[in-house]
Amino acid sequence: MKSLNYFFVESLICVLILTGPGLKPSRGQGAVPDSLHKQISVNLRLLKSSPKNPEILLHIGNLYLQIEKSDSALFWFNRALALTDTIPKLFNAAGKAYFKKGKHKIIPLELLLKAMKKDNYSKAIQFFQKAIALQPAFPDARYNLGRAFLARKKSGDLERARRTFIQLEINQPEYKDTGFQIGLTLMAMGEPKPAIRQFDDYYKNHPRDARPLIQIANSFMDLGETKKASHYFLTGVVHLRDRKTLHNLFLQIKGIATKSEIRRYEALPLKKRGLFFRRFWGRRDPTPTTETNERFTEHYRRVRYAKSHFPSVTPPYYDDRGKIYVKYGAPDMRYISTMTAANIRENESWSYENLKKGLDFDFVERGATFQLVSDLRSAAPPGSDFVTQLAIARSLYAERAPELGGLYVRLAYDVDDLTLMDFVAEKENAAHEAPPSIYNFNYRARPLPFQISFAQFRGKNHTTRIEIYYGINLNNLTFVPYFHQNFISTLKYSFVWQDTNYIELQRKNEQLKYFEKDTLQLRKREKIDLYPFYLKPGHYNFAFRVENPEGKKLGIFKDPVTIRDFSGDSLLLSDIELANSIQFSNLPGPFRKNDVSVQPHPSQKYSAHKPLYIYYEIYNLKKSPAGKTHYETTYTVSTQSAQHSFPKKMIRSIRSLFGRRKQSSISSSYKRWGETRQEAEYLSFDLTRLPLGKTRIRVLVKDLISGQVRQTSVSVDLF
């Protein structure tokens, strides 16, 4: 009788769906395609003339399956089954409908949910088995049966699924993605290594299907091999086109994405959504010069933990506690209520006070999962009046106050509308101000200070030469004893260029060893060098890593870089290179440019007590009829924001009284004749007349023959 009542309610729901305001939902909410709408209407008209035709009923049900209306589909399948039990396709279709409904039929009315909970996977299995009994060589029914066993996961189901898929693969080697399903089954059975081999074999035969690469990454995560997991995921996701897999991956990162990232993803076409994940994780990689993306692996460690400890039957397969865990990691304090009275729902609270004051979350049980709630009145049973809700909330807050403190203490003895409103507002404000996610990577190394800067020049073969200048004070290195009372220390460098999808394009690795007898002499020594790279104009991501293994010290720099285009025939200027010295030289070396040696100054900070040298290049000067170029250069050095301590401010004020106040800017200009269309310019500045602080150097070049004008600039911080 119970099953009949359930069938009656289920059928009634289907009738309400069918007799509702049309079959076509509004645009933006998964509107039914016009073609399917017309097909349903045509078959409903056919049904009027043949009301007992099971083929028409089957076809109508399949149309509803296509638009993801499993209840409506079952209504028509059950009508057909009442007429005949000899059509294998009918049992297979009914099984698919139950399979799509999932493990439990969820009814929005809470009381009915407990009374009408039904294992739809078991029902689906019964229908698939009936279809196979009628037609043993029915590949679709066998395929669906294996998937139903895999989804149900009762005792012995995984082995049944594996045998079902293997038998189907033997009989129909190329049927759908059977090999992929075998890999999923092996993963569910806790056999990651056989699963990896299975996915690899499937991918070799189906290289356009990137899903196996994602699952190989998951398997390597199970094995703790994070480097391989990062590689396979970030390689495979770029080519992923499966809508369901992409949707599930997005649900797993949606909670840690920014609002702009969410909007950007939702606006992308299907073929570009995989690239989004590559960029998403590339931006968050704390060690971009290594193959392992630690932020990626930590995220999926949290996801797996959430699925295991805070499970849910619907995507992303963890409840609201899992969502908070994925965002912020383990809480500073987790309080599980000990009040187990029959009229109080299970509840718990998480506190992240060490991250941000007021960052607290309350959860209340709702049908085997926990939901995030604004306050603990929700722990009261349904239908409770306001007084009862407040009384229960007061008891729960008093229970938490000694452990969690903070906001909960205020509610332990006095709970009313106003205090609850303040409490909820403070929690919401803290959650709003908190970042989308929290992750503090432990580099397991002390910081190694370094300086780094860039300058771009015209390259060769339509490329741009970008020079990376870097400097390290050798006194910051750790030296260890070496042979014959000497000391040794090592510097390891890595320079990496990636495209906008964080795919590596160029890499330069170098290792230098320093041998010293007296490390006290290092205080006066600094390692300054440059590396040139040739790249086409465009947008790139650059990463630099320097490491001193003996001292367990590490320095990392990463930044997006736009490479300029120096092609064309108009007047152009290179970037300005800051230099410690510029000298004439005919000797080869890394610093030589146009018969001068330019020793770079890799920092934006510069001492005002020594000359500042600059170097830059001019391109595409126009020649006169006599074959000469003629141009005018104007230099302006101006203070942007002077910085003074209190004594220096006093001295500056006294100087101004006697007319000795420092200048805020200096400028000069000159005209020059040249022989070639490209010229190299360099000069030095005496900055002692300028106040300390942010200073900008501007160079303006006017081609006196063509009339074109260009300017470039660089900032320094005088100290």
d(CA 571, CA 20): 70
- Residues whose CB falls within 8 Å of the CB of residue 87, separated by 6 or more in sequence, listed in order: 54, 58, 80, 134
Instruction: Give me the phi and psi of 561, to 5 degrees please.
Output: -130, 135
Q: Angle, to 10 degrees, between the axis of helix 270-284 and the axis of helix 259-267?
A: 150
Would the pLDDT of 457 be above 90? yes
pTM of the model: 0.82
Highest mean pLDDT among 420-424, 507-511, 666-670: 507-511
User: Does 13 score more than 60 pLDDT?
Assistant: no
Cβ neighbours of residue 292 closer than 8 Å, sequence gap 6 or more: 226, 227, 230
Nearest to residue 577, comparing CAs of 549, 598, 556? Answer: 598
Mean pLDDT of all residues belonging to the chain: 88
pLDDT at 22 over 50: no
Q: What is the pLDDT of residues 543-572, one digit of tens each?
A: 999 999 999 999 999 999 999 999 999 999
The span from the CA of 150 to the CA of 76, in Å, is: 27
Quick one: CA torsion of 353, 357, 361, 362, rounded to 10 degrees? 100
Q: What is the pLDDT of residues 273-311, one digit of tens each?
A: 999 999 999 999 999 999 899 999 999 999 999 999 999
Contact 623, 705 (CB under 8 A): yes
Instruction: Report residue 473 as tokens.
Output: 């004070």
Cα–Cα distance for residue pair 626/642, rounded to 1 Å: 48
Q: Which of 529, 543, 490 is nearest to 513 (CA)?
A: 490
How big is the CA angle at 217 (ends 214 and 221), to the nearest 5 degrees? 140
For residue 171, is pLDDT > 70? Answer: yes
Q: What is the pLDDT of residue 314?
A: 84
Q: What percent of the chain has pLDDT over 90?
A: 72
Pick from 310, 309, 362: which is nearest to 337 by CA? 362
- Give the pair of three-digit tokens for residue 532: 């040139």
Cβ neighbours of 702 (radius 10 Å): 19
Tell me which residue of 404, 431, 397 sits closest to 328, measured CA to CA: 431
In this structure, CATH architecture of domain 568-719: Sandwich (2.60)
Looking at residue 519, the DSSP 8-state letter turns out to be G
CA distances, 105 to each of 176, 458, 628 (Å): 28, 66, 86
Mean pLDDT of 480-488: 86
pLDDT at 650 over 70: no
Confidence at residue 36, expressed as pLDDT on a 0 to 100 scale = 83
| pLDDT number for residue 687 | 86
Query: Using a CB cutoff of 8 Å and minimum separation of 24, what contacts does 486-489 make?
Result: 486/515, 486/516, 486/517, 487/515, 487/516, 487/517, 487/519, 488/513, 488/514, 488/515, 488/516, 488/550, 489/513, 489/514, 489/516, 489/548, 489/550, 489/551
pLDDT of residue 642: 55
Angle at 265 between CA 261 and CA 271, to 5 degrees: 145
Whether residue 109 is predicted with pLDDT greater than 70 in this model: the reply is no
The amino acid at 399: E
pLDDT in tens, 80-93: 999 999 999 999 99
**Strand, helix or coil for residue 231:** helix
pLDDT tens track for 224-237: 999 999 999 999 99
DSSP 485: G
- Among the listed residues 239, 191, 193, the one whose alpha carbon sits nearest the alpha carbon of residue 214: 239
Give the three-class secondary structure for 191.
coil
Q: CB under 8 Å to 306, separation ≥6 — which residues?
A: 318, 321, 322, 323, 325, 326
Q: Look at residue 118 in the predicted model and tell me its pLDDT.
A: 60
Say if 177-313 and 568-719 have the same CATH topology.
Answer: no
CA quadruple 658, 662, 665, 670: dihedral sign: positive
CA-to-CA distance for 154 and 125, rounded, in angstroms? 12
3-state secondary structure of 541: strand
The stretches of 285-412 forming alpha helices (DSSP H) are 294-309, 320-328, 386-404, 407-411
Burial class (CB in 10 A: 0-12, 13-18, 19+), 19: exposed
Better pLDDT: 71 or 540: 540
Local structure of residue 678 (DSSP, 8 states) = -
pLDDT over threshold 80, residue 28: no
Distance CA 101, CA 313 (A): 11
pLDDT of 651 strictly over 60: no
| Residue of 593, 633, 600, 602 lying closest to 614 (CA atoms) | 600
Can you tell me whether residue 544 is helix, strand or coil? Answer: strand
- In tens, the pLDDT along 401-427 reads 999 988 888 787 777 778 888 889 999
- Extents of the domains making up the chain: 177-313, 319-433, 455-567, 568-719
pLDDT score, position 662 = 62
Per-residue model confidence (pLDDT) at position 30: 46
Question: Is residue 39 packed enough to be buried (19+ CB in 10 Å), middle (13-18) or exposed (0-12)?
Answer: middle
Token pair for 408? 């909960």
Lowest mean pLDDT among 353-357, 450-454, 455-459, 559-563: 353-357
Q: For residue 656, is pLDDT > 70?
A: no
What pLDDT score was predicted for residue 23?
41
Confidence bin at 20 (pLDDT 50/70/90): very low
Tokens of 182: 């075998």
Cβ density class 636-668: b for 16+ within 10 Å, e for less: bbbbeebeeeeeeeeeeeeeeeeeeeeeeeeee
- Tokens describing residue 618: 């001019």
What is the per-residue pLDDT for 15? 36
Distant-in-sequence, close-in-space partners of 47: CB < 8 Å, separation ≥ 6: 53, 56, 57, 60
Residue 630's identity, in one-letter code, is H
265 neighbors 250 (Cβ within 8 angstroms): yes
Instruction: Tell me what pLDDT residue 405 has.
Output: 86
Nearby residues of 25 by Cβ (< 8 Å), 6 or more positions away = 31, 32
Q: For residue range 329-382, what is the model confidence (pLDDT) as tens digits?
A: 999 999 999 887 767 999 999 999 988 989 999 999 998 899 999 999 999 988
At the topology level, CATH places domain 455-567 in Immunoglobulin-like (2.60.40)
Range list of H helices, 501-595: none
Q: Which residues contact 330 (CB under 8 A, 6 or more apart)?
A: none
Among left, alpha and beta (phi > 0; psi -120 to 50; other), residue 8 is alpha
The single-letter code of the amino acid at 401 is A
Give residue for tokens 């000359």: 611
Q: What is the dotted CATH code of the domain comprising 177-313?
A: 1.25.40
Which long-range contacts link 25-31 to residues 24+ away (Cβ below 8 Å)? 30/68
- For residue 200, pLDDT over 80 is answered with yes
Kindly tell me if the per-residue pLDDT of 16 is higher than 80. Answer: no
Q: What is the pLDDT of residue 521?
A: 67
